[in-house]
Amino acid sequence: MKRLLILSFLGLFLNISFAQKLIFPSDDYKIFTVDIDSRTWTHNLADGILTIAPKSSKYSSDFLAMMWASQDPESASQATKLTEEAQYVVTTLLTDVNFNEKVSEFENNAIAYYGIDGTGYLKNDDGTKTEMFVTILLLLPQKYDDMVALTFFATPEAYDIYSEDFIDLVLKIK
């Protein structure tokens, strides 16, 4: 019994020590927290933009997520502005972008999510193109007037490997 208790405690400690609790967008102004598993993901929070990528060097450039908050949370048009900003990011990085017509909606941890999926192509230096899956999500926490945009891009292979972990990360946002 004692051994089981010790093993359980060690397992809990290891899980806690690998999960980094990040306050977004800053310690001074919290919209929500993001738990990032440092065994799987690297992240950088600079100038109000959070970037998340796989820790694996093989896929670090094949999967990228970016998150930023509205610059004007009091504005009635903040959803439109954030959507336009996210579309600009996507169309700046990818060519031949096509989005599905259906908007997905769901709620989790008192946050409403509105998302759209699509595909596009990343132009490589040698002139070839790499297919990328892309998602744009708007996150609307019920406690605040703030809205947050989240975009992520992934090659089909990186998507197959990391999408489940990334979706789990997104669903743990509180």
Does the pLDDT of residue 8 top 70, yes or no? no
Q: Residue 39 in contact with residue 55, Cβ under 8 Å? A: yes
Report, in this order, helix, strand and coil percent for the chain, each rounded to 5.
30, 45, 30
Does the pLDDT of residue 18 top 70, yes or no? no
Tokens matching residue 133? 């899956």
Largest CA distance in the chain: 63
DSSP label at residue 115: E
Instruction: Identify the band that residue 50 occupies on the pLDDT scale cut at 50, 70 and 90.
Output: very high
Whether domain 19-171 has CATH 3.40.50: the reply is no
Q: Residue 120 in contact with residue 98, Cβ under 8 Å? A: yes
Q: Where are the domains of the chain?
A: 19-171
The pLDDT tens digits for 34-47 are 999 999 999 999 99
Amino acid sitting at position 164: E
The pLDDT tens digits for 111-132 are 999 999 999 999 999 999 999 9
The pLDDT tens digits for 84-93 are 999 999 999 9
pLDDT at 131: 98
Kindly list the distances between the CA atom of residue 28 and the CA atoms of 25, 31, 32, 35, 132, in Å, as whole numbers in the listed order. 8, 10, 12, 18, 35
- How many Å apart are CA 168 and CA 89, to the nearest integer? 24
